[in-house]
Structure 1
Amino acid sequence: MMEFVHVAVAVFSLLSLGQSDPVTNCDSLTKPFQVNGTDPPKTRIVFQFLGRWNYVAWSIDAPSDSLWKTVLRKSWLNIKAAPENDQLIASQYNEMFNRGLTLLANLTVQENRFSDKNGLVAGSLLTTGCPDCMLQYLNFTFGPRSYRSLDLLSRRTMVTDAELEEYKKQVQCLNLPPPSIRGSRKEIHFVRSTLD
């Protein structure tokens, strides 16, 4: 068993060598995304994060994640600018039970943190070595319970093995369950719902 652990550590070490900025501990793996500049918060992040993002992988601490696997396997996020300077409009498109559901939320942005006005969703962006990815660490309320998730989204539908391994380590650092990896998606008709 110990030999297996040593082999696994060696493999993870080799995978990290392929990244431009290898990270080796949980502090650096879960470091908040740094927003720089003196412009208002939305101005600083809006150009980088507007548009469509595909869910590539996610981990959620729900008691049974089978429903979440069904939902997020065919899910993507679209981010638009709102008229208010510190607001973004996030639309999450999900396929669930062969029907489409669109969740809309107006998010207030402060530095690398965002939240909706009802307190149902709060999150922050974490640093990732993936150049066209967004890593969101969320706390959200669904019914009477609260959950945490770490979602890896990308402009691409798939990421490299090294990028995925970095994400898996980040999941471990945050004590979340093993992640689910994105499956196939088909186009379907969507209905709207709002979180506001």
Structure 2
Amino acid sequence: MMEFVHVAIVVFSLLSLGQSAPVTNCESLTKPIKINGTDQLLGRWNYVGWSTNMVLGSIVALFAEPGWLHITATDQHDLLITSDYLKMFDTCETMISNMTLKNNTFITGNKSTVSLLTTTCPDCLVQYSTGPGSERHLEFLSRRTAVTDAELEEFKKQVECLNLRKSKILDPKRELCPVQSATD
């Protein structure tokens, strides 16, 4: 009987090794998703967290407060208008820019490229931006103002996989900027 128990333990141990691992490896977490139209991107997105490889961006992150992004369609099927409503030092600013979709990547006015990365969060966007020089940023946005701990951990793992600086997670309880007139 004891021999049967040992065999059963060995078999169950081997079976557990054969199970597929959760989707947390860097290859899957940093894979751009296919963008099938822009309709699902339209509307309001709340900033949850972000990270960068730039020293100045890390300093700015110390003072950043919650913000949100509004994406609007245009008459041109590949052009979107983004309005960022950001707060720093209790002052709200609005920045408006254009993004053009080309080959599954968005091109911004400052020639940065933006790809959307895989996420298990059903109402989230993870935007990976590469800019002039070696500038890189990762932004985590959601339709909600707060996300689950598991969703935050997945984002932090993406930051780690992309070798970016420690992520800044924004406080979902802080007041967001209202809609206001745009500034450049």
Pairwise same-fold verdict (TM > 0.5): yes
Does the CA contact (< 8 Å) of 1:61 and 1:148 recur in 2? yes
1:132, distance to aligned residue in structure 2 (A): 0.3
1:92-139 deviation per Cα after TM superposition (whole angstroms, max 9, x unaligned)? 1111232221111111012431012441x3211111010000000012
Give unpaired runs (5+ residues) of structure 1: 1-20, 37-43
SS at match of 1:168: helix
Does the CA contact (< 8 Å) of 1:99 and 1:188 recur in 2? no
Once residues 179 and 123 of structure 2 are traced to their aligned partners in structure 1, the CA distance between those partners, rounded to angstroms, is: 28
TM-score by length of 2: 0.79
**1:172 match:** 160
1:3-61 deviation per Cα after TM superposition (whole angstroms, max 9, x unaligned)? xxxxxxxxxxxxxxxxxx9313211111111234xxxxxxx1x2211001001111112
Alpha carbons of structure 1 residues 187 and 23: separation in structure 2 relative to 1, 3 Å: same
**2:182 match:** 192
**2:124 match:** 133
Once residues 77 and 177 of structure 2 are traced to their aligned partners in structure 1, the CA distance between those partners, rounded to angstroms, is: 33
Q: Is 1:114 matched with 2:106?
A: yes
| Count of paired positions | 161
Does the CA contact (< 8 Å) of 2:51 and 2:159 recur in 1? yes
| Aligned partner letter, 1:63 | V
Does the CA contact (< 8 Å) of 2:48 and 2:145 recur in 1? yes
Alpha carbons of structure 1 residues 166 and 103: separation in structure 2 relative to 1, 3 Å: same
1:182, distance to aligned residue in structure 2 (A): 0.8
Alpha carbons of structure 1 residues 156 and 133: separation in structure 2 relative to 1, 3 Å: same
Alignment map for 1:128-167 (pairs within 5 Å): 128-140=119-131, 147-167=135-155
Query: Which moves more between the two structures, 106-115 or 128-137?
Result: 106-115
Give unpaired runs (5+ residues) of structure 2: 1-20
**1:100 match:** 92
Alpha carbons of structure 1 residues 167 and 82: separation in structure 2 relative to 1, 3 Å: same
Q: Is 1:90 matched with 2:82?
A: yes
Give the CA RMSD over aligned residues.
Answer: 2.1
Q: Which runs of 4+ in 1 moved over 3 A?
A: 186-191
Identity within the alignment, %: 46
Once residues 160 and 138 of structure 1 are traced to their aligned partners in structure 2, the CA distance between those partners, rounded to angstroms, is: 24
Does the CA contact (< 8 Å) of 1:99 and 1:190 recur in 2? no
1:86, distance to aligned residue in structure 2 (A): 0.7
**1:182 match:** 170
| Aligned partner letter, 2:114 | G
1:178, distance to aligned residue in structure 2 (A): 1.3
Alpha carbons of structure 1 residues 26 and 189: separation in structure 2 relative to 1, 3 Å: closer
Q: Is 1:23 matched with 2:23?
A: yes
Once residues 62 and 191 of structure 1 are traced to their aligned partners in structure 2, the CA distance between those partners, rounded to angstroms, is: 29
| Aligned partner letter, 1:60 | T
